Amino acid sequence: MLGIKEENISIHKIYELLYEAYGPQNWWPADSVEEMMVGAVLVQNTAWTNVEKSLEALESFSPSYIRNVEHEELIRCIRTSGFYMQKARTLKNLMSWFQKYNDDILIARTKDERIIRSELLELKGIGYETADCMMVYALEKPYFIIDAYTRRIFERLNIPLHYNYLKAQAYIQDNLEVDVQIFNEFHALLVKHGKKHCMKKPRCISCPLGKYCYYYQSQEESIAFI
């Protein structure tokens, strides 16, 4: 790998360029908050195409259904998403927690978001990233989501994020306006961009961040990747 980028870029500028390139993403890709929360668990370290199969197999996303369905049946439905033993248990944990708010996201949104977040983090199977996805896309509270794509993209823009999740998140939130709509769109754009241009194996086709990015040099030609 060879660092040959032309100039530095602000975090807000990254957002602007991605938005310009890809437009609004209208995340989370789900028809209900319940489906969003289920999807957030199932997508942990898993390709979304696998999650889609699971979402289709599930009879319902309603909290009561998830709570009451037989464990074996739940596992059968979500099998294609991998890690199904852990994820089945996590979904049960999550929906049991949701009952505390009468299975009503509108009620949960009126509560102190710091308490909601710490409650989510107490659930086995839900870590910082999954919790913050729910904070943004279900609770509509501004927590910048740090995922593998974010780290990879920022690193290739010469903005390496601290390996510690909370420190990485604090860095972003100190250098970008704290706004749930922006965090919502930004994360979706980073995933969109990451899948297209910033896989582990470099791809490089008309990258909208090209001139701010490191360049990858193969044997003959040097190729912009990100």
Minimum CB distance to DNA, residue 7 (Å): 27
Site string for DNA, 123-142 (x = CB under 7 A): xxxxxxxxx-x---------
Minimum CB distance to DNA, residue 136 (Å): 9
Per DSSP, 145 falls in state: P
* Segment interacting with DNA, rule: CB under 7 A, options 7-15, 59-67, 120-128, 168-176: 120-128
Minimum CB distance to DNA, residue 60 (Å): 20
**Closer residue to DNA in complex, CB, 7/114:** 114
- How many CA atoms, within 13 angstroms, populate the side-chain half-sphere of residue 88? 18
Minimum CB distance to DNA, residue 6 (Å): 26
Minimum CB distance to DNA, residue 192 (Å): 9
Q: Count of CB atoms within 10 A of residue 43's CB?
A: 21
**Closer residue to DNA in complex, CB, 50/158:** 50
In order of 95, 107, 206, the CA distances from 102 in angstroms are 10, 8, 48
Q: Is 185 in the site for DNA (CB under 7 A)?
A: no
Q: Count of CB atoms within 10 A of residue 204's CB?
A: 17
Tell me which of 21, 53, 76, 103 binds DNA, using CB under 7 A: 53
| Residue 76, burial from CB neighbour count under 10 angstroms (0-12, 13-18, 19+) | middle
Structure tokens, 37: 């929360």
**Closer residue to DNA in complex, CB, 21/148:** 148
Tell me which of 19, 22, 35, 50 binds DNA, using CB under 7 A: 50
In order of 69, 73, 84, 149, the CA distances from 187 in angstroms are 32, 33, 25, 9
Site residues (CB under 7 A) for DNA, limited to 71-90: 79-86
Using the Cα atoms of residue 39, residue 44, residue 49 and residue 50 in order, give the sign of their dihedral.
Answer: negative
What gap in Å lies between CA 113 and CA 68, rounded to an integer?
27
The residue ranges that bind DNA (CB under 7 A) are 27-29, 39-40, 43-50, 53, 79-86, 123-131, 133, 147-149, 163-164, 191, 194-195, 199-201
